[in-house]
Structure 1
Amino acid sequence: MEKQTRRTFLATAAALTATASGFSLSAQEPKSMESKNKKMLAHHVFFWLKNRDSKEDLNKLIEGLRTLEKIESVRSIHIGVPASTEIRPVVDATYSASELIFFDDVAGQDIYQVHPIHKKFVENYSHLWEKVIVYDSIDI
């Protein structure tokens, strides 16, 4: 049995954590032909509330965002508000809330867009926001 160094321990721990999270470390684990053709899509949406100072409106929006995790093509979701990080010219913290959703591929995001839960979210909560910006990116 080979001696486990700190480096091999950390590499193994990172690989196990990534695998448990549903992610693949390409340098550690070869991808199958099917997964090479699929490119994970990240869907990041930023919301600006009409009533920016309303905690009630923010809580309602977050309540609605949480319903989206029930859509079967959603692999992972992060819902957040601006962090109290250093103010820098490149940081835009003017939004009220955001969601970051990961899909297996573009087809998964397409399913999400027409899903009844997503449509109901837009119908029930769109009156709360004045602006929405979406950034979609795909693995390279």
Structure 2
Amino acid sequence: MLALVLAAALAAAAPPPPDLTASVLTDVCLPYVTGDSRGATAVGTLGFVPAPASDGDTLNFKTEDEAWLLRLTTTGSAADDNLNRVCVIQARRGGFDGARQSIQPVLREQGFTPEADLPAGRAIWTRGGVTVSLRQNPGAATIVRVTWSTLDAG
């Protein structure tokens, strides 16, 4: 009987969550920087809560355990042709290699092109005005930065 209960519990258990860095990239950052409102609304469904230091142009979020920080920033205006949107993921777990292995398949699948001749620690991919960079300074958290600008989109 105990074996049946254990088997039922294992079968009913939720699958492990998808990689958070890749999920934030696809569900929050890429939609946000291209102006899709789903980007900002997906933040809560991925387990982020508001973090201090948000202001009118910048919204800051963190996971409960502070393993991931997220910043969404919009500056300028379309009327002035200087609109910029930036989404920054700070992954405090998994390291640089983990983040790279997480986002590379997503970027390739979505048609991003890697910049040639860059150091391994400063990867950059581009597509249609959107730039995704991945970096980690010694002793610091891994940063995935996704940007879009009216100046790059043209």
What TM-score comes out, normalization by structure 2 length? 0.29
Q: Which structure: greater helix fraction?
A: 1
Q: Which structure: greater strand fraction?
A: 2
What TM-score comes out, normalization by structure 1 length? 0.31
Question: Which structure: larger Rg?
Answer: 1
